[in-house]
Amino acid sequence: MNAESVANHFQVPGRLVALQPIGAGNVNDTYRVIFRTTFSEEQFILQRINQAVFKDPVAVMANMKAVTDHAHRRIEAEADQADRIWQLPRVIPAKDGRDYTVDGKGHYWRALSMIASSTNYEKVNEPEHAAEAGRVLGYFQRIISDFPAGELADTLPGFHIAPGYLGKYDRVLASEGAQERLFAVSEARRLAKFVEQRRGFVSVLEDAKERGELHLRPIHGDPKITNVMIDDFTGKGTAIVDLDTVKPGLIHYDFGDAVRSGCNPAGEETSDLSEVYLDLDLFSALVRGYLTEAREFLTESDKKYLYDSVRLIAFELGLRFYTDYLAGDVYFKINYEAQNLNRARVQFALCESIEAREGKMRGILEKYC
């Protein structure tokens, strides 16, 4: 079934006017849909859930519904004291009352409300943007921090468990296809060395979790800069979107991901490695914004691991891209040959830059914690 006919399955008044694919996202297929009645227009987001990644789409939608219902109540309760109008996508029910619809081929689709008058950006160049990205993540984590993580399904087993990604890498590396790529591409061999030098630190967060220093909480899972919506009128952050990775995890996965994405002015897709670095002004601003909200729920041990989370998540994402390149691009969508290798090069260059700035980054964290 095509997206046009699926769009009619949801509880939206009016008739379909337009349906436009939105290129963003490395995993799901996303469309912006416009419906009109005689007097009004309604726009919403329609997504086909990638079932190669999300094996249990019903559980993904149950997590999303439970967390957004909770968060919407908190947003309402605090609205009078807030310095802005916070938004968060709402799951639009299908006409049969479910939170998704299934097409004739067994594909799962969902509809989500749009965030009004706002824009997301691929890159960050101004500290104020980075501060808003930090603030938006801290706010989201804060309003879901009292939601019991145990009630959420683990919809992506192994997600952000770095030692698991290393195990997967080792298995892929041994395959014939991977060996052929390594033999043919010198840059691929260079990245293999980069990974070898960092094996030791890959379990830093999982070890702390094992020791009971860090605890599972509800997290966003994917707070990269393109998922942060900036209000077109005020320039302030107004929402975080892309909620299909909301599940139990360490808040560090989120913090690390927000920083690796929001403090590298070159973005994820550049091919010029000389542009890639961790910008300390952006970092300082992001940390300031994040802690405005997060100070309330962070423990002393949480704070201890913030730097490590940044280094680790940049490394981990590089490793995930690199592994996917070696495996023949089976997970992340690509638009050109060797795109996943290039994405890995960017994250590893960023990781090196983070390592070189460890002292300064720890200093900034101490100042704001």
Tell me which residues touch ligand GN1 (CB under 6 A): 25-27, 53, 222, 224, 242, 245, 268, 317
Please choose which of ligand GN1, Mg ion, none residue 163 contacts, taking the beta carbon within 5 to 8 angstroms, the exact cut-off set by kind.
none
Nearer to Mg ion, 24 or 79 (CB): 24
Closest approach of Cβ 268 to ligand GN1, in Å? 6
CA 229 from centroid of its chain's CA atoms: 13
Total residues in contact with Mg ion, by rule CB under 5 A: 2
Closest approach of Cβ 286 to ligand GN1, in Å? 16
Binding to Mg ion by CB under 5 A, coded x per residue (else -) over 197-236, reads -------------------------x--------------
Residues in the chain: 369
Judged on CB neighbours under 10 Å (0-12, 13-18, 19+), 31 is buried
Nearer to ligand GN1, 231 or 268 (CB): 268
Closest approach of Cβ 227 to ligand GN1, in Å? 7
Q: Are 103 and 1 in contact (CB under 8 A)?
A: yes
Q: Are 62 and 99 in contact (CB under 8 A)?
A: yes
The residue of the chain with the least Cβ separation from Mg ion equals 222
Nearer to ligand GN1, 246 or 317 (CB): 317
Compute the distance between CA of residue 90 and CA of residue 100 in angstroms, rounded to an integer. Answer: 12
Q: Which two three-digit tokens encode residue 326?
A: 């070696």
Nearer to Mg ion, 25 or 164 (CB): 25
Listed residue (322, 144, 296, 148) closest to 223, CA to CA: 144
Listed residue (30, 29, 7) closest to 17, CA to CA: 7
Rg value, the chain, Cα = 20
The residue of the chain with the least Cβ separation from ligand GN1 equals 27
Angle, alpha carbons 286-25-148 (nearest 5°): 65
Closest approach of Cβ 183 to Mg ion, in Å? 33
Closest approach of Cβ 320 to ligand GN1, in Å? 7
Closest approach of Cβ 365 to ligand GN1, in Å? 22
Q: Are 137 and 257 in contact (CB under 8 A)?
A: no
Compute the distance between CA of residue 343 and CA of residue 318 in angstroms, rounded to an integer. Answer: 7
Please choose which of ligand GN1, Mg ion, none residue 26 contacts, taking the beta carbon within 5 to 8 angstroms, the exact cut-off set by kind.
ligand GN1
Nearer to ligand GN1, 325 or 368 (CB): 325
Please choose which of ligand GN1, Mg ion, none residue 324 contacts, taking the beta carbon within 5 to 8 angstroms, the exact cut-off set by kind.
none
Closest approach of Cβ 25 to ligand GN1, in Å? 4
Among positions 238-277, residues that touch Mg ion (CB under 5 A) are: 242
Please choose which of Mg ion, ligand GN1, none residue 268 contacts, taking the beta carbon within 5 to 8 angstroms, the exact cut-off set by kind.
ligand GN1
Sheet (strand 237-240) strand order: 118-119, 228-231, 237-240
How many helices (H) and strands (E) would you count in the chain?
13, 11
Closest approach of Cβ 226 to ligand GN1, in Å? 7
Whose structure tokens read 């070696």?
326
Q: Are 69 and 88 in contact (CB under 8 A)?
A: no
Binding site for Mg ion (CB under 5 A): 222, 242
